[in-house]
Each structure stands twice: as structure tokens, then as C-alpha cells.
Structure 1
Amino acid sequence: MPTARAARRTAVRLGAVALAGALLAACGSGSPGGASGGKDGDITLTVDLFGSFGYQEAGLYAAYEKLHPGVTIKQTDTEDEQDYWKSLQTRLAGGGGLADVQGVEVGRIAAVTQQQSEKFEDLTRYGADKLKDRFAAAKWSAATTKDGKVLGLGTDVGPEAMCYRTDLLRKAGLPTDRTELAKRWATWDGYLALGERYRAKAPAGSAWLDSVGSLFTVMVGQEKERYYDTSGALIYEDSPAVRTAWSAATRAASDGLSAKLDQWTPQWNQAFAAGSFATLPCPAWMLGYIKGQAGDAGKGKWDVARLPGGAGNWGGSYLSVPRAAKHKKEAYELIEWLTAPEQQAELFRKQGNFPSATGAIAAVAGATDPYFSGAPIGRIFGDAAKAAPVQVLGVHDKNVADQITNALNEVERKGTSPEEAWSHAKKGVANVTG
């Protein structure tokens, strides 16, 4: 999930018939009369999300409605997570306009548990405490307050790989085999060096990567400590992870390796079909986004290889129930079902969102994807998920990241010096962290 995953859905909604089997067998805590309004009449559950959670596209809402006659699920979503979060904060402050289910990006979950716990339902009231063993330990603990309240159920995680266009690499005279590329770019220096070779013979209008902001984000996702330390102190100025990623990103900008595209913009979306970049740092949830933007014409042109520099995580989300929700119990039953291993596994197969439920991770280990040239996505992302560090999350984690990537946009798009851009980043961080 986008946070960190913020991607707009464009795929066609799939019918529930294709999901029969495992989906119909996994009803969560709700029985066909539970959340259906069978006793109290028909109800509409509202779900407000950002980016590409994939439930509608994978047919999960349709399957749930079939299991619970009388329930209708109405989803709204915002393309950019920053816009979504600002709107959510306004509605939380006023207590109105909130959906029954609200998505929370992983970079915001510490703000929810540490500063806004009174705004969200403690899901243990509905039996969530019995689900602890279902999730990876880090995913569960991040949404749990110090006094044991559970404020969200984990959807996906964002293990990282590198997606690339085989046709563009071939035209530039570079290897296209995923195993060979993984060796060539085993380090980030190797990745940038290969980018220099690509630039020398690149097809017209094509760059090595989409933006230096995405390079920075994926690199800091490989480290345990980035912006905060385990005591909760803000350490980004002296963080080795931030310094290393900033250096690599500004180097890529100065070497002309970036297409200078601001992620999640219409221009970036159009670039997938236009072939404007050859490689894309790629958390698992990006697979569904690529399919949506590149369309049928992109099938077989993309592939997936192991990420340079080791494993990491970018994004992942939670589903929460606000205190002001109209249908709290029914909302909980829906999110318990959506985050169950069976549904998480199906979502990965259909959309690429990698599971946070341990049972689902094992179930998708052998998954391949014909769109991505038959890449063994279950193994690639599964290995990355196992090796990725458990990251320290701070209250303003996402805000700090946004300020730094905004500064990097200045470097690549305006020609601002790295030194001046860094000073702008520090001022921005000071403003958002108070």
C-alpha cells in the first residue's frame, strides 16, 4: 500500500466468481448475517483510502457483499497520500465526515498510536487481540499503543525489488536476464554505473530511472534507523542511511540519469506507456500500479530483479475504524476479513500487494507473474520481506521523508545545489515537526 504507497487504481474490477474457493471459505468473524444488516436492515459501509489498496480491482468487495447480503461497500480514494492525510486530520479534528474504515500509511501509524489514539477505535473491543499471531510481529506492534490498544489491522508490507523494461535495456545493449542484472547491480554504485552505460546508448526520450526521489526512498528503506532512533529522537541530519541515500540521489541527478518525473503526477503516469524510464525502484505494491498505467501493451516488456544493496521495505498500510464511524462493529468485521491470510494472498496474486499475514506469505511463495515476463515474484519479494530490517518509525516519519524528497526534486528539476537543497529540507522538517 501506497504509501509511502500513493497510487491511483486503474485496473478493471474483477468479478467475485473468480474468487470463489478460498474467499468464500474465509468469512472472518462475520457470518452471513453478521455485518449484512440482516437483523437491522441493509447498510452501506464506507471505506476511505489513498492510492492502490486493490480491494475493488481484485473483486474482494464483491466477494464480501456476496457473503453478506444487505451490505454494500462504498469506497472513496485520494491519489496522493499527503492530500489524503491532510484531509483526514481536518475531519478527525472536527469529528465529522469520517468513513467507517480509514486507511493509514505505515509512515503515519506512529502518529496515530502516540498522538491520536482517542480518535480511533481500540479493535480489541471486537476481538482483534485474538489475531496477533496472524501477523508479522513488527506489523502488529507498530499499530499497538503502549497500553495495549490495537488501532489498526495490517494490510500489506512493501518489500523492495527493481522493476525494469527489458526492451529498453536490450536497445541500449545491456543484459536483460534478471539474475545477471542482480549481479551487475549488487551495489548501488553498480546500479549507477550501469545507468551511465544506459545513458550512453539509451533510446530517445528514455532515462535510467524515473526520479531521484524514488531512489532515495528505496535506499533509506533498507535501513533500520532513518529519521528517528529507538528512543524517539529525530536523527535524520546525522543518519548514515539518509546521508548515503542523499549522496547517491544527488549523484544520479548530476549525472543526468533521471527522467525528472514527480511521482504520482499525470506526467509520471503517462511515462509508463511512453517508455520514459528503464528502471523503477519497486516495492511489491508497485506491480499493480505498473499494470494499470502501462496497460496491456506493457505485458512481457517488464521484469523484476533483486534490489541493489540488499533487502528493504517501502510502504505498507493499515485499516482503522474511527471513533466517529457509523458502523463500528460491521467495519471491524470487514477489515478483519480483508486482512485475513486468504484475502491477502489473493490480493498479491491479483495486484502484487505483498501480505503482512504470515500464513499468506507462505501461500504465495511460488507465485509468478506473466505480465512481468514470468518473474518469480513470490520468491523475490518473499526473500526481501524476510531480510528487510524492522524499521524504527517516528511520529513525523512520513513528513520528514516528504520534505527530503521535495528538496531532491529541486536538485533534479531546478538545478539547485545539493547543499542549498539540504538547507531547504532542514527548514521544511523544522516546520512540520514543530
Structure 2
Amino acid sequence: MSIPRTAPRTAVRLGAVALTGALLAACGSGSGGGSADSAGGDVTLTVDLFGAFGYKESGLYAEYERLHPGIKIKQTDTEDEQDYWKSLQTRLAGGGGLADVQGIEVGRIASVTQQQAAKFVDLNQYGAGALKGEFAPAKWSAATTKDGKVLGLGTDVGPEAMCYRSDLFQAAGLPTDRTELAARWATWDGYLELGRQYKAKAPAGSAWLDSVGSLNAVMVGQAKERYYDASGALVYENSPAVKTAWDASVKAAGEGLSAKLDQWSPPWNQAFSSGSFATLPCPAWMLGYIKGQAGDAGKGKWDVAKLPGGAGNWGGSYLAVPTAAAHKKEAYELIKWLTAPEQQTKVFRGQGNFPSATTSIGQIADAKDPYFSDAPIGRIFGDAAEQAPVQVLGVHDKDIADQINNALSEVERKGTAPETAWANAKKAVKNALG
């Protein structure tokens, strides 16, 4: 989840065997077992995340504390993943101020495995190797170094769909049925054409989509190769996927289809309840975010349909334990439990974050969400997860995506010529990569 995750705010991890929910708490001392926080031996595990992982909201922390007397969990949260990552880098460099558990967005995982392996615990020392069969090979290997160290356990994945405001569609004279809409916007050209029709009759102050940055992100999420090729070479400047997404995004900006709202900004958050935009390309984890921002008043106004242009993936994350963590073993036991199939199912039902375990996917296949007009989210996102390509991940995926998004913001908010904005993006990427 930038996503907050992850994004969100990202290849599907498939599990085969359900894990038991009751894990034993260890309250010891030393580099592997952590240290006591008080004379009574209680341990407070600190968890530092970005965006909406859904653990607190789904009651999982409270459940874990009940199952493990003496363990307390304290979460800190940064809404914007870029801000989170910058702060994490500063703390990793200094070695202080790190939580027992740190979230890692999928666009950063290659950076962790290839450049920062010494900063994170090899989870194999606590038995993580036994969990390998729970995850798809591509997802497991993404968090594994060349010499076999496992640096994180996968959380959710980000299969993509289209969220939309059916009440605003109706007001503009557009169809509201999710099946009909999926047929009408089977392609991105069809989606933009419906956007033009919406603009012509839209309620005052309402645009077709929130930002062209979200359009770009979801479109590049439909491609196997985006910023790097399979050999690890940087190819974003000549990537067909990047060009297609860029061209569609600047077209949408030029035609005034966007509300010009930077994602994760306060105005963007407020727009969920004000009706400032009618559609939002949404990975599964976005559902919980929409609920949080739109509140009870949004129930029944939102719906979900199949994404234009085919399946894709945006976001999905990992939970990792820094080598500087105070309670390494306890932290591992917590992330093992949080990423178990039972807990993935609970988070999906509570927040919409799509599970990665096969057991969980089977359990939620028929799930509907009353908040989203009883949309069959289990089937919609399940189909997308099954069909999404296994993406090539590079060291600086997230940095490149952020700079392209910044350039698109220039186009839609400042009127910068697309050619100039693209040149600015390339300069910014070069600076970011060093």
C-alpha cells in the first residue's frame, strides 16, 4: 500500500497448509529472544507500518494478546509510504529507533534483499524455512537473498479492480450494473470514453477519477516487466507498459477527467465523502481505506467491477524484523501468526486486504461486501489474483514509480507539457538512483 500500501498500498503468494493460531510466547533475553520490558517479564512488541494493514482494525492484535499473556503490541503508522521509507532508511543507517516489526512494501523488497540484508534478521534461524510451501515460489523468492536468507514474510497481495460511486453514475445517466460496466470498459479506451460521458453530465464538482497518478499505477501493475527486465537491466525509459500507462494518464489529464488530487493527501481523503470523483482504480487493500475515509455515509454508494484492460497487481507487503529489534524471536512469532491463513481471512473480511494463502482464498471465494453494494469481492479479486502476471521486481521500483507519479502530478495540476514532465521524471529518477 504508495500505497500506504501495499498499497497498499503487490505475484500472488499461495499457501497450502493452515497454521495453528495459538503460538507460545517467549519472554527471555539475548539477541534472539528479546528482553523484558518490566520486572514482571511483560514484553511490548513494537510494530511500525504504513497505510492500512488492517491488523488493529480486524482485532488481531487484541486476539494475539489474549492468546499470549505477557505480550503487548504497540503499532505506529505512517499514511504515506514514501515518508515511511525515508524515515526507515534514516533509522536503519543510525541503528536506533527501529521497531521489532517493520513493514516493507513490495516495491522495496528487492532493495532490502540486495542492498540491506545485514539490517534485517534471517528468519530461517527461527524456522521460517518450514513455511516455504505456504507461499508461491515467486513471492517467497522475492524476500530471499541469493545465499538463502529469508528477510520477510508476505502479507496481502494487490489484485486490482475498479471501485466506483453508483449514485454518482446514476446522477450522470450512466449504467450502474457492475457486469455491464465491465463490458463497457473492457479496455482503457472504453474507460476513458465513459469518463467523457460522465464529465458531460456529472454532478457539480465531481470528476471521473481521483488522479491520473492512480490510473498510471494500476495500468503499470498489469505488466510483467515495467521498470526492469528479467535480467535486472533498467528499462523504464523504453518500456511499452510504462509508455502505455503514461500516454493514457496524460490524455486523461488533458481532457480534464481528473479531480487533480494527490493520493494520500488530506484533500484526497476528504474527497471520499464529498463525491469529488466517481471512479478509483483499486487494489483489494483499498477497500478498507475507502471505508475508513468515506465512513458509514458511504455504505451502499460504492460498488466494485472488473478492471479495464485485464488483471493486474498493485501493492502487497512483507513483515520483517530488523537486526536492531529488541525482541527478535517474539517478533518472528507475531509475524508468523499474522501471516497465517486464518488471520489473512479475518483481515480480508474486515478490511478487504486480499489473502495470499490458498486456504484463505478458498474460504473467501464467495465473499460479498455489503458496504460495496454486496459486490462479489471474493470472486472479482480472486479472478484478478489468479490472472495477474508475476512481476519483475527491481531494486528501485518504488523510487521510479514515485518520480513518474510526481511528473504526472505536474501535468494535471500545473499544466506542464507531457514532454517536459517526462524529461523531469527522467532527471528525478537519475538523481534518486544516484
Matched with 2:138 is: 138
Matched with 1:171 is: 171
Deviation at 1:137, TM superposition (A): 2.4
Matched with 1:245 is: 245
Matched with 1:13 is: none
Matched with 1:200 is: 200
Q: Is the 8 A contact 1:2 1:317 kept in 2?
A: no
Matched with 1:150 is: 150
Provide the identity percentage: 77
Q: Is the 8 A contact 2:6 2:157 kept in 1?
A: no
> Which moves more between the two structures, 207-216 or 40-49?
40-49
The alpha-carbon distance between structure 1 residues 278 and 192, as it changes in their structure 2 partners (threshold 3 A), is same
Find out whether 1:223 has 2:223 as its counterpart.
yes
Matched with 2:21 is: 26
**What pairs with 1:355-434 in structure 2 (closer than 5 Å)?**
355-434=355-434
Partner AA of 1:76 in structure 2: T
Q: Distance between the aligned counterparts of 2:301 and 2:178, measured in 1?
A: 13
**What pairs with 1:217-296 in structure 2 (closer than 5 Å)?**
217-296=217-296
Matched with 1:332 is: 332
Q: Distance between the aligned counterparts of 2:426 and 2:400, measured in 1?
A: 9
Q: Distance between the aligned counterparts of 2:60 and 2:4, measured in 1?
A: 23
Deviation sequence 1:275-319 (CA, Å, 0-9, x none):
000000000000000000000000000000000000000000000
Q: Secondary structure at the match of 2:421?
A: helix
Deviation sequence 1:30-56 (CA, Å, 0-9, x none):
225679979981110000111101100
Q: Distance between the aligned counterparts of 1:279 and 1:136, measured in 2?
A: 32
Q: Distance between the aligned counterparts of 2:238 and 2:128, measured in 1?
A: 39
Matched with 1:58 is: 58
Q: Is the 8 A contact 1:403 1:429 kept in 2?
A: yes
Q: Distance between the aligned counterparts of 2:285 and 2:101, measured in 1?
A: 20
Q: Distance between the aligned counterparts of 2:351 and 2:137, measured in 1?
A: 24
Structure having greater relative contact order (Cα 8 Å, sep ≥ 6): 2
Structure 1: segments with no counterpart, 5+ residues: 10-22
The alpha-carbon distance between structure 1 residues 304 and 269, as it changes in their structure 2 partners (threshold 3 A), is same
Q: Distance between the aligned counterparts of 2:206 and 2:21, measured in 1?
A: 45
Partner AA of 1:159 in structure 2: P
Deviation at 1:25, TM superposition (A): 5.5
Q: Secondary structure at the match of 1:141?
A: helix
Q: Is the 8 A contact 2:3 2:80 kept in 1?
A: no
Q: Is the 8 A contact 2:283 2:313 kept in 1?
A: yes
Matched with 1:300 is: 300
Q: Secondary structure at the match of 2:168?
A: helix
Q: Distance between the aligned counterparts of 1:217 and 1:307, measured in 2?
A: 13
The alpha-carbon distance between structure 1 residues 147 and 351, as it changes in their structure 2 partners (threshold 3 A), is same
Q: Secondary structure at the match of 2:290?
A: helix
The alpha-carbon distance between structure 1 residues 33 and 331, as it changes in their structure 2 partners (threshold 3 A), is closer
Q: Is the 8 A contact 1:208 1:258 kept in 2?
A: yes
Q: Secondary structure at the match of 1:354?
A: coil
Q: Distance between the aligned counterparts of 1:84 and 1:337, measured in 2?
A: 24
Q: Secondary structure at the match of 1:409?
A: helix
Q: Is the 8 A contact 2:19 2:340 kept in 1?
A: no
Q: Secondary structure at the match of 2:52?
A: coil
Deviation at 1:136, TM superposition (A): 2.4
Find out whether 1:80 has 2:80 as its counterpart.
yes
Q: Secondary structure at the match of 1:162?
A: strand
Q: Is the 8 A contact 1:160 1:281 kept in 2?
A: yes
Q: Is the 8 A contact 2:5 2:315 kept in 1?
A: yes
The alpha-carbon distance between structure 1 residues 325 and 32, as it changes in their structure 2 partners (threshold 3 A), is closer
**What pairs with 1:300-319 in structure 2 (closer than 5 Å)?**
300-319=300-319
The alpha-carbon distance between structure 1 residues 2 and 332, as it changes in their structure 2 partners (threshold 3 A), is farther
Q: Distance between the aligned counterparts of 1:186 and 1:180, measured in 2?
A: 10
Q: Is the 8 A contact 1:4 1:107 kept in 2?
A: no
Matched with 1:17 is: none
Q: Is the 8 A contact 2:162 2:306 kept in 1?
A: yes
Q: Distance between the aligned counterparts of 1:201 and 1:5, measured in 2?
A: 34
The alpha-carbon distance between structure 1 residues 237 and 276, as it changes in their structure 2 partners (threshold 3 A), is same
Q: Distance between the aligned counterparts of 2:146 and 2:307, measured in 1?
A: 35
Q: Secondary structure at the match of 1:317?
A: strand
Q: Distance between the aligned counterparts of 1:155 and 1:332, measured in 2?
A: 14
Matched with 2:93 is: 93
Deviation at 1:6, TM superposition (A): 6.9
Matched with 2:15 is: none
Matched with 1:18 is: none
Q: Is the 8 A contact 2:7 2:315 kept in 1?
A: no
Deviation sequence 1:35-82 (CA, Å, 0-9, x none):
997998111000011110110010000000000001000011111111
Q: Distance between the aligned counterparts of 1:355 and 1:433, measured in 2?
A: 32
Q: Distance between the aligned counterparts of 1:280 and 1:32, measured in 2?
A: 42
Deviation sequence 1:364-385 (CA, Å, 0-9, x none):
1111100000000000000000
Partner AA of 1:160 in structure 2: E
The alpha-carbon distance between structure 1 residues 7 and 76, as it changes in their structure 2 partners (threshold 3 A), is farther
Q: Secondary structure at the match of 1:355?
A: coil
Deviation at 1:3, TM superposition (A): 3.1
Partner AA of 2:82 in structure 1: Q
Q: Is the 8 A contact 2:26 2:330 kept in 1?
A: no
Deviation at 1:430, TM superposition (A): 0.4
Q: Is the 8 A contact 1:2 1:285 kept in 2?
A: no
